[in-house]
Structures are given as structure tokens and as C-alpha cells.
Amino acid sequence: MEIPRELVNTIWYMCLYSLMATPLTLSYRTSRVLNFAHGIYITVGAYVPVLISRGLNISLSPVIAILASFSVGAILAMVSHLLVFSPLIRRRATPVTLMIASMGLWIFTKYALYAIISVLQKAWMTPLTYTNPNIDVPYSILFMGVDINARFILTILLAALVLTSLALFLTKTKTGMAIRAIADNPELAQLTGISREKTLLITWAISGGIAALGGFAWSIFAYVSPETGDNLILQVFACSVIGGLISLPITLIGAAIISSTENLLIVFLNRYFGVELSFRPFLSFLILLLTILIRPPAGAGGGLPYRYRFPRHIFRFLRRGEGNV
């Protein structure tokens, strides 16, 4: 039995965008920094297994690749916070200043990555500007007589595990609750003894790490280049904006909406209305624009953070997303 390719791609993209967009929402919600360097964490996460497997000329275990990507992404995000955002926040920089600083960080780290890749490419005599890692995961496995793409299954499992762990962390652990407290009301949280600086550092580590895992997942799906994160960042922002830049569950719904648009809606329009496939990115950005106009994200249209309201009895689980997760 063959699963329609469009459905496979929709689910695959949903997992990828979930891993990439959720940390953006988390970092903005907690630190109020609209981080344009977020794409770099994705790119770095994608390149870590590439550099390890190509450099050592080995077939890398997926567990090691995942741990390595997460670690490097987390470290990079923490360093970004310590060297760039934290000093500016202490000086009471405005959100616009922080956003501009993140753009500078983005450009700096991107070209630093280019320089590193260029040097390694020459030293190792192997192309690294458009490549993928050598991961010890087969392309397909036979399961009950059905040919299944093993990397597709790995991506689903990774996304489910990471997002479930994140939800449990934020709701069941002291540190997670501290993160939510800082996100909701930093002054009050500090009065209760929560260290804002330490909490922000942990938040950045988690955000950078999970974004890097999104990059790893991308590297086993398609090819990786130093532009990978940049080329995906607008779709990632679209998912987060649908989530109002504060709600993690709604960000997941945003991921589902964007991935469905790119893989199912365009198919429908192409097959029945003759719309060219070239219009695929236009549809994603149309949704982004409509979301900004109809349901502006946090802080935009009025000053107060936007709260999603859902009928209690229908979306009880989503009410936990009302600024709480």
C-alpha cells in the first residue's frame, strides 16, 4: 500500500517546522527578542553531523548526531545571549534595538560559518557547501511488507519526543515553571526569587538546541547549505506568528497549516485550477500576512500581549497555551 507522497511530505514538513518554530516562539515569549539569527541555529544544527561524518569519514550514529547538534546549537544560543542580548537588556535596550542586534549577529555568524566551511572544504578536499551527512540510518526499511522511509519515521519520532519533553519540562519541572513565570511577568517572577538571567540563559540553550535539532532533521530530509536556515526562516516565522509568538501549541498548529498549504493546498490549486507550482511560497506568505492583519502577534496591535481564547469545553488542552506554555 502506498501512502500518497503529498501526505508524507505534509507530515514531514510539519515535524520539521515544529522543531524549528517552537524554539523561536519560546525564546521570544521569554526574552522578548525577535531573533533574526534563529536561522543560524538551524543551519549549524544541520552542519554539525555533516562536519563530523565528513571530517572523520564515518557513518555517524543518529543518537550521536542528535546529541552533537543539540549541544552545539545550545552553546551557540547561550553565547549569543551572553555576548549580545544580555548586555543590551541590562542597558534597557528597546525591542527594536534587540532585533537589529540580532540581525547583526545573524550576518556575523553566517559569514563566520562560510569562512569555516571554506577552510574545511579546502583542507578535506571534499565539497561542503551543498551536501548532507553520512548518518547510519537506511533510506528505507521493510515493515510488514511495506517499504517505509526510515528517515521519515526517525523525524516523526524525534519531533514527538522533543516536543513532548519540552511540554513536560515547562509544566512539570521547577525550571520550566520559572521560564513560564519570567515569560508572563518578569518583575513579579524576580520578586519571588527567580533569577531572570539564569532563566533566560536556560531558555536560550533550549531554544538553540531544539532549533539545531530541526536543522539535523532537515539534513536527513534534504541537502544542507550555509543558506539553509535563512531560506527556511520565513516559513518558520510564519508558523510562530500564527502562534502569536507566545503560544507553543498554536505554533504547532501553525506548522500544520503552513506544511498543509505548501504540500496539499498547492496540489489542489494546481490540479483543479491550473495554478502553477511556483506559487507555493506565495501561499505561505499570504497566510503570514493574513495572520498579521487578522490576529496580530504579541505586542503588535495594541500593546498588551495577545491571548488566545478558546471555548473551554472544545479546546480544553489548548487553554494551557493561553500564555501558560
Binding site for another protein (CB under 8 A): 2, 5-6, 9, 12-13, 114, 121, 125, 127, 129-132, 139-140, 147, 149, 221-223, 225-228, 231-232, 262-263, 266-267, 270-271, 276-281
Q: How far is the CB of 214 from another protein (least distance, A)?
A: 13
Q: Count Cα neighbours of 12 within 13 Å in the Cβ-side half-sphere.
A: 22
Q: DSSP label at 132?
A: -
Toward another protein, which CB reaches closer, 279 or 316? 279
Toward another protein, which CB reaches closer, 168 or 276? 276
Q: How far is the CB of 307 from another protein (least distance, A)?
A: 33
Toward another protein, which CB reaches closer, 83 or 119? 119
Q: How far is the CB of 271 from another protein (least distance, A)?
A: 8
Q: How far is the CB of 139 from another protein (least distance, A)?
A: 5
Cα torsion angle, 86, 87, 88, 91, sign: positive
Give start and end residues of each alpha helix (H) in 143-247: 150-172, 174-184, 186-191, 196-219, 228-242
Toward another protein, which CB reaches closer, 25 or 263? 263
Give start and end residues of each alpha helix (H) in the chain: 5-31, 38-56, 62-80, 86-90, 95-124, 150-172, 174-184, 186-191, 196-219, 228-242, 248-260, 266-273, 280-294
Q: How far is the CB of 12 from another protein (least distance, A)?
A: 7
Neighbours of 172 (CB within 10 A): 9
Toward another protein, which CB reaches closer, 71 or 270? 270
